[in-house]
């Protein structure tokens, strides 16, 4: 089972520290995209967190269920208006099963990288495929691995440097590993949080989808269906479970 890196203190500050990700200009295109795929069906969010996407999606009238490891993140979700419409199962989204079938499952904001082994990422695709309706879709939003930023022989990349936050990614190219180190100034004291990830290439995700019986349907560089190209720093990908064939 994956470790919980979103415990009390992280959860308490999550919305504030990710404030730009809660901006309507960021959230609305995500919700538009997912609502269209959900259609009349239900949506499953892996790593639902404090409900940044699930709450506005549920407000569109879509049934949303979430899975998350962190009781503390889900407790934050539960404090918000509209949370009573959303069911949440505490568990690891690579393996946890929930009741019902879904027309869309989604895993946003780089959260596939929280699964730190290839086996866990493969298991996640298999778990999603088992929860989807025939013809249902799995959507992932994740960064393209930033290895082109690393000069030969270097392993550290500074991704943020401000008065109150220093963010440094540490790459382990042998194991496709990445540790994001955050040094944050809080109440006059510097605090350190180091979170391990496994970075993953788009083609590897396509292969994981294929292992789980799904095929790539769309790949964009953003939620407004911007083209995915050589300089894109992230992608929004959609894999589809085959529709049931009519008998006969």
Ligand X SMILES: C[S@@+](CC[C@H](N)C(=O)[O-])C[C@H]1O[C@@H](n2cnc3c(N)ncnc32)[C@H](O)[C@@H]1O
Using the structure block, give the residue that is written with the tokens 């990422």. Answer: 121
Angle between helices 118-131 and 202-211 (to 10 degrees): 50
Candidate list 31, 86, 94, 208; residue touching ligand X; CB under 6 A: 94
70 is a contact residue toward ligand X (CB under 6 A): yes
| Contact predicate 132/102, CB 8 Å | yes
As given in the structure block, the two tokens for residue 28 are 């609305």
CA pair distance 240, 218, nearest whole angstrom: 9
Q: Is 77 in the site for ligand X (CB under 6 A)?
A: no
Distance CA 134, CA 101 (A): 9
Q: Where does this chain touch ligand X (CB under 6 A) — which range of 45-53, 147-155, 195-203, 223-231?
A: 45-53
Q: Which of 56, 92, 129, 214 binds ligand X (CB under 6 A)?
A: 92
The residue within the footprint of ligand X, chosen from 56, 63, 68, 235 (CB under 6 A), is: 68
6 lines the binding site for ligand X (CB under 6 A): yes
Interface residues for ligand X in 113-142 (CB under 6 A)?
Answer: 114-115
**47 belongs to the binding site for ligand X (CB under 6 A):** yes
Nearest in space to 175 (alpha carbons), one of 200, 203, 151, 153: 200
Length of the chain as a residue count? 248
Binding site for ligand X (CB under 6 A): 2, 6, 47-49, 52-53, 67-70, 73, 92-94, 108-109, 111, 114-115
């Amino acid at each position: 089972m994956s470790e919980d890196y979103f415990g009390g203190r992280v959860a308490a500050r999550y919305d504030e520290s990710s404030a730009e990700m809660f901006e309507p200009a960021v959230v609305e295109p995500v919700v538009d995209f997912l609502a269209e795929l959900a259609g009349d069906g239900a949506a499953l969010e892996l790593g639902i967190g404090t409900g940044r996407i699930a709450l506005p999606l549920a407000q569109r009238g879509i049934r949303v269920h979430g899975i998350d490891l962190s009781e503390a993140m889900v407790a934050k979700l539960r404090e918000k208006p509209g949370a009573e419409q959303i069911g949440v199962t505490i568990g690891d989204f690579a393996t946890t099963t929930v009741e019902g079938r879904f027309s869309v499952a989604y895993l946003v904001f780089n959260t596939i990288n929280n699964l730190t082994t290839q086996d866990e990422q493969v298991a996640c695709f298999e778990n999603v495929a088992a929860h989807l309706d025939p013809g249902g879709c799995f959507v992932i939003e994740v960064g393209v691995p930033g290895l082109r930023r690393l000069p030969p022989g270097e392993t550290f990349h500074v991704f943020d440097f401000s008065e109150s936050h220093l963010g440094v990614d540490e790459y382990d190219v042998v194991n496709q590993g990445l540790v994001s180190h955050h040094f944050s100034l809080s109440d006059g004291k510097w605090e350190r949080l180091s979170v391990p990830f496994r970075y993953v290439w788009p083609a590897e995700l396509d292969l994981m989808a294929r292992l789980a019986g799904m095929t790539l349907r769309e790949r964009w560089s953003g939620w407004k269906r911007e083209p995915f190209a050589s300089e894109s720093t992230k992608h929004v990908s959609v894999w589809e479970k085959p529709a049931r064939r009519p008998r006969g």
